[in-house]
Structure 1
Amino acid sequence: MTDMLTFDAEAARSLERTYRTPDVVAQRRIVLDTLALRPGERVLDIGCGPGLLAAESAAVVGARGHVIGVDKSESMLTLARSRAVVPGGGKVDLRRAAADHLPCAERSVDVAVSTQVLEYVADVAGALAEIHRVLVPGGRVAVLDTDWDSLVWHCTDRPRMTRMLAAWDRHLADPHLPRTLLRALRRAGFEAASPLVIPLLNVGYRHDTYSAGLIDIVASYVVGRDGLTDDEIVAWSNDLRGLGDDYFFSLNRYLFTATKRP
């Protein structure tokens, strides 16, 4: 059973910090390079979060371009508004909406992008149908999601880690979405290419990494779930941070690209 993450102001800021780590900055650069945005294009960022990708997209499409960022979380949109004005860039229009009910007219955008969003959506087919609806013929889409079975996280207490991650999986509608996403894109009417894998690798504990920030996010989410006690959660966090040079974290994300058939 799914029990989705919710983002109050504090949780939104915590996630924003992970988005600013070198790991995720590099990931965002790969996504932007893959999108190959052009001046004047209309871009839809689905699940825009704190607005970093939306702002960077606006800088690329320029003053003649237009970026629409949608997110279900008002706390996330508040952060995104702080970077919605991009000097020399396109207009950034932020709207509160879900991935499967996009507030855009049919055939109104050139490019759609969704990073770490569809794995939270129960109706992926419906979300892809919405993306297909709003794209112009020949429009492009990029979707990035994680298969959480790819996670390798070193610890000194494997049974406790197993319990923590089993509880964490409950925050997603599908923690293994990439396995079926290529077929789903094709069924939705897209010409889909083979995906690209983007690994996140942290070796040696450092506070300015994606996984260091993830420790607090996981710990906050699993409180009171699956019989995990506060002491167990604190011990899990301390164990990881105490590994020092022996710290090891690896996780695979998969970037799918597709085109709406003319």
Structure 2
Amino acid sequence: FLNEERPIQTLRQILTRLRETYCGTIGYEYMHIQDRDQCNWLRERIETERKKQYAPERKKILLDRLGWGEMFENFLSNKYSAAKRFGLEGCESLVPGFKEIIDKAAEMGVEAITIGMPHRGRLNVLANVVRKPLQTIFNEFKGGPKLKEELGNESSSYTGSGDVKYHLGTSFDRPTLRGGQIHLSLVANPSHLEAVNTVVTGKTRAKQFYNKDPHGDKSMAVLLHGDGAFSGQGIVYETLDMSKLP
């Protein structure tokens, strides 16, 4: 695909392009796929002629989103250094990446996203993606009572049974860049990795059913995994087996 319908290139040019494509900041692994058509489909989209270019305004948005994620981690590290929080250090790009998924989904007509994720990085996602009030998160670090007086009518959305702060979930109607709105629901999850998978897919399926959305155009699920848990937990593959249910 690097050479298709393009002028003849030298071996040096081809090798340079291949190194830029496969030895950069993103890795691709697909040669284990037996179906050649599927491999070619992936290669056609990976071995593009030009890298994606972002306009200056778009870069500012991405930088702002990345900054919020990193500043949140730095603040917790300095303010609550002795508290267990399962931070997102080293993976702060999850925040702008997640928001990009949400924006793209909203553009394509999705109205609701149900999210499942482990405890690692959950507080950052709660604060910067699903927008759980920061005062509520900080109060949970202090072990204080629920902030009903501070939050007023919104308090009922964030109360819980007293579980640890990095297990909790919430929901939020998030405005999009184009002036629309999309409903986000982050499902509560125990420390048992991947246990939330079927809860998220079941909740999404219920939304599709009751909203008369048989093709899943308006409701979608997003599941985040760690490498080890994805490979080692059988529930991951059991959930994938149900993906083709009518």
Measured against the shorter chain, the TM-score band is 0.3 to 0.5
Question: Which structure has the highest helix share of the two?
Answer: 2
**Larger RCO, structures 1/2 (Cα 8 Å, 6+ apart):** 1
Q: Which has the larger radius of gyration?
A: 2
What TM-score, normalized to structure 1?
0.31
